Amino acid sequence: MKYRIEIIKDRFVIGMKTRTSVLNINENTKQLAQVFMPRRHEVLSRIGKHVFSIQNYGKDFTPANPNSEFDKWIGIEVDNTSDIPKGMDSFVISSGTFVVFSFKGSVSELPKQRAYIFQEWLPNSGYQLDQKAHFEILSEDYSKDLQNIKEEIWIPIKQVE
C-alpha cells in the first residue's frame, strides 16, 4: 500500500462538529455532512475544493472502548477564521508529521484499510501515533458513488521514543 510522509503547518478549518463514538460514527458523520455540505458555500475564505472529515480524539479517548466519545468534524479549509457563519465553528489541524495513505475503492473496504494502517504499518514503521487530530481529505462529490471513492487518510505520527 502506497503512503507518503508529510510535514504540515497549521491548517484552518471551518465546519460543523458532533460528539460521536466508533459505534455511531457512520450515522453521525452522514447526518453532519447532510447539514454542512449544503451550507459550505457560506464560508467566504475557502481554500481549494476539498472537504475535511476530522476525528479529534483527545486524550480521554479509549480506542478499545467502542463507546468512547470524540469530536467528529466535517469542514473546509480556509485561509482565516475571522468570518464564521452562524451554526459553524473553527478548528485548527495542528502542525506536525503525518503519514498519508491514498485510498480508492468501496466505502465498505475502509475498515480493512484502517486495520492495515494501525495493525501492520504503524507497528513496523518506526513511528507511533501523535496526539493530534486524524483526518481524511475528500472531494466535494465524495458521497455520490460510495462504491468508487477516493480519499487521503492522514494519521499524525512521531518518531518512536
C-alpha cell at 85: 457563519
Cβ(29)–Cβ(151) below 8 Å: no
The reported pLDDT for the residue numbered 100 is: 98
pLDDT at 77: 97
Nearest one of 53, 54, 73 to 138, comparing CA atoms = 53
| CATH topology assigned to domain 3-159 | Multidrug-efflux Transporter 1 Regulator Bmrr; Chain A (3.20.80)
- Tens place of pLDDT for every residue, the chain, 161 residues? 789 999 999 999 999 999 999 899 889 998 999 999 999 999 999 999 999 999 999 888 888 788 899 999 999 999 999 999 999 999 999 999 999 999 988 878 888 898 899 999 999 999 999 999 999 999 877 665 667 788 999 999 999 98
pLDDT of res. 66: 84
pLDDT of residue 14: 98
Task: Report the distance separating Cα 134 and Cα 155, nearest Å.
Answer: 5
